[in-house]
Amino acid sequence: MRLIRIWAVTRKEFLHVLRDVRSLGMAIAIPMMMLMLFGYALTLDVDKVPLVVWDQSGTRQNRDLIAQFTGSKYFSLRSYFDNYADIVRAIDSGRALAAMVLPRDYAQRISAGRDAEVQFIVDGSDSNTATIALGYAEALTRTYSQNLVIKAIQRSGAPALQQPLDVRPRVWFNEDMESRNFIIPGLIGVLMMVIAALMTSLTVAREWERGTMEQLISTPVKGPELVIGKLIPYFTIGLFDVLLGVLMSKFLFHVPLRGSVVFLFGMAIIFLIGTMSWGILISINAKNQLLASQFAMISTFLPSFLLSGFMFSIANMPEPIQIITYAVPARYFVSLLKGIYLKGVGFHVMQGEVILLTVYAIVTFALAIARFKKKLS
């Protein structure tokens, strides 16, 4: 293997990339656009749940309970109704996700120290949002109920109650419980998986389509030299995309980066080598740019989006699917990014992911070289 031959292939590929301004622009612009689109549109936070109310008596006690909901950040009062038909229409049309119905005798029962029933209706078509909204409602009513009990005891002159259990929750790593801090690091890994494989999946197939592969075969350039030479330009672009993603996460989305930047880019280098080698391997076997790009998209986007732990917890998946996730390299890179960003951990904690990601890069690079040798022969 000679560096001069690698440089010749690299220079040729660099010239092709620089001449194709549209492709170069897309390779840089698409990750930025997707990061902005997903970063702003994709959220797991459930705030300002649309709420409608049917208050059948309109007493002060009723208004106090309603204010408990509307004064929080979790519910947004949209309208008052005076019948079930309007509530049903509001939920059916999507104008409201939840409805609260206060009975006529609510104030009397509260004043008498008796149990009072309040109906809370939730649209369960989106089960995840409905579950979270129910949790919010239960927490608010529990707090309101405890305050009523404390006030009743104070009015009776009895000594103040001491709570037997004093729970003081403390959130680590994502103190504000912002889903964006969890999503953006994983999103960088998923986008790099797709873009890196997509860029390199066209390189060798383009040579076959344009009839220039025979000229490359006739040159003294060896298979490993050709693969490395074709990887270097796109690897440079991919590393630049990672830099853009890190800068956007810091200054645009304000995601804290607690870990080592050097460790982050070191893992990105290993991941890009493996992913781009996978794109080269696809390109070698496809011989057609359209087929190569389609297969690269299918084999990277769906697995990395669904099976990497980016959006859905792997621990909650069926056991056979959990086993399959070990074959998805984005699983390890997403885990590394979240650990570096949120927890500030390094190699001593994430060494398992580092080792498996390195094995993936070595195996795919070796397969690309081995497969290309067969094509040369």
44 φ/ψ angles, rounded to the nearest 5 degrees: -105, 0
18-32, 82-96, 237-251, 274-288, range with the lowest pLDDT: 18-32
How far apart are the C-alpha atoms of 50 and 40, rounded to whole Å? 20
| CA-to-CA dists, residue 211 to 154, 155, 288, 368, angstroms | 90, 92, 12, 21
Domain regions of the chain by residue span? 3-43+178-376, 49-156
Cβ atoms of residues 186 and 309 within 8 Å: yes
**Exposure pattern of 93-131 as b/e (b: 16+ CB <10 Å)?**
eeebbbbbbbbeebbeebeeeeebeeeebbbeeeeebbe
How far apart are the C-alpha atoms of 204 and 274, rounded to whole Å? 17
Cβ atoms of residues 274 and 329 within 8 Å: yes
In this prediction, residue 78 has a pLDDT band, given cuts at 50, 70 and 90, of very high
How far apart are the C-alpha atoms of 256 and 259, rounded to whole Å? 9
22-36, 61-75, 318-332, range with the lowest pLDDT: 22-36
pLDDT in tens, 163-201: 677 777 888 888 877 888 888 999 999 989 988 898 888
| pLDDT at 71 exceeding the cut of 50 | yes
How far apart are the C-alpha atoms of 130 and 122, rounded to whole Å? 6
In the chain, what percentage of residues exceed pLDDT 90? 44
- Beta strands (DSSP E) in 10-58 are 49-55
Closest CA to 55 of 1, 3, 114, 119: 119
Closest CA to 256 of 324, 315, 335, 344: 344
Task: Please compute the mean of the pLDDT values over residues 321-334 and round it to a whole number.
Answer: 93
> How confident is the model at residue 161, as a pLDDT?
63
CB contact set of 180 (below 8 Å; sequence gap of 6+): 39, 43, 253, 255
pLDDT in tens, 264-311: 999 999 999 999 999 999 988 887 888 888 899 899 988 998 999 888
Q: Would you state the structure tokens that stand for residue 63, as one six-digit string?
A: 């208004």
Neighbours of 210 (CB within 10 A): 10
**Exposure pattern of 54-68 as b/e (b: 16+ CB <10 Å)?**
bbeeebebbeebbeb
Question: Strand, helix or coil at 75?
Answer: strand
| pLDDT at 352 exceeding the cut of 90 | yes
In this prediction, residue 377 has a pLDDT band, given cuts at 50, 70 and 90, of very low
Cβ atoms of residues 195 and 238 within 8 Å: yes
Superfamily for domain range 49-156: abc type-2 transporter like domain (3.40.1710.10)
Q: Would you state the structure tokens that stand for residue 256, as one six-digit string?
A: 């804290």
Neighbours of 85 (CB within 10 A): 9
Amino acid at 374: K
Closest CA to 250 of 46, 41, 47, 39: 39
The C-alpha angle with vertex 153 and arms to 148 and 158, in degrees rounded to 5, equals 170
How far apart are the C-alpha atoms of 236 and 177, rounded to whole Å? 35
The C-alpha angle with vertex 297 and arms to 221 and 31, in degrees rounded to 5, equals 90
